Amino acid sequence: MEHYNLFAKSHRVFLFDSPRHYELAIEELTQYLRANPDSGIAYNNRGLAYSEMGQGDRALLDFAKAIECLPDDPAAYLNRADLYMRAEPAARLQEAIEDFTRAVAAGGADATLHRRRAYACLRANRLQDAVDSFSQAIRVEPEFRQTYIDRGKAYQAMGEDRKAQQDFDAANNLR
């Protein structure tokens, strides 16, 4: 696994070809953590590997440990929120929104963080919160067309057709 740098940064996605690659990554990260028990990045990355292997409970433990080690790094919050978003029942949506909110607090200058929180709010039918998060994403990255479209859809769902049309027009002007 030497060609994969499993420890240098917080990976958002591992793109391995087979479950065996994830197993090897877990083994290597576990060995690394024995020698480096405070490596939030290694816990985060092992959590990702566990998540990809369908071992959500283990992934959640590792993401919690990563957050404990690196509370100001948004990566583990995002990864745990993603896991909550996939969980059934949808009752874990509130936990996902809380983690997306923490990720925003840790890395607020990233429009993607605001959009991710907005999508979780939409799924939870918290439309005003979604609009607020989309608006924040637009303030950070005003040229990203899709955010206007998505905020417009949220406005439509709220019955605010004029605001929705303004967003759709803004999106069309960004072509």
Domains 1-99 and 108-175 share a fold: yes
Q: Which residues contact 91 (CB under 8 A, 6 or more apart)?
A: none
CA 106 to each of CA 74, 77, 147: distance values in angstroms, whole numbers, following the listed order? 5, 9, 21
Q: How far is CA 131 from the centre of its chain?
A: 18
How far apart are alpha carbons 140 and 156 in whole angstroms? 23
Q: The domain 1-99 belongs to what CATH superfamily?
A: Tetratricopeptide repeat domain (1.25.40.10)
Q: How far is CA 168 from the centre of its chain?
A: 26
Q: Which residues contact 103 (CB under 8 A, 6 or more apart)?
A: 74, 77, 78, 81, 113, 116, 117
CATH architecture label of 108-175: Alpha Horseshoe (1.25)
Q: Give DSSP secondary structure letters for 15-74.
A: --SSHHHHHHHHHHHHHHHHH-TT-HHHHHHHHHHHHHTT-HHHHHHHHHHHHHH-TT-H
* Local confidence pLDDT in tens for the 175 residues of the chain: 333 455 555 555 556 667 888 899 999 999 999 999 999 999 999 999 999 999 999 999 999 999 999 999 999 999 999 999 987 767 789 999 999 999 999 987 899 999 999 999 999 999 999 999 999 999 999 999 999 999 999 999 999 999 999 999 999 999 7
pTM given for the model: 0.85
For position 115, what pLDDT does the model report? Answer: 97
Contact 100, 81 (CB under 8 A): yes
Domain range annotation of the chain = 1-99, 108-175
For position 43, what pLDDT does the model report? Answer: 97
**Nearest of 175, 117, 120, 116 to residue 145 by alpha carbon:** 175
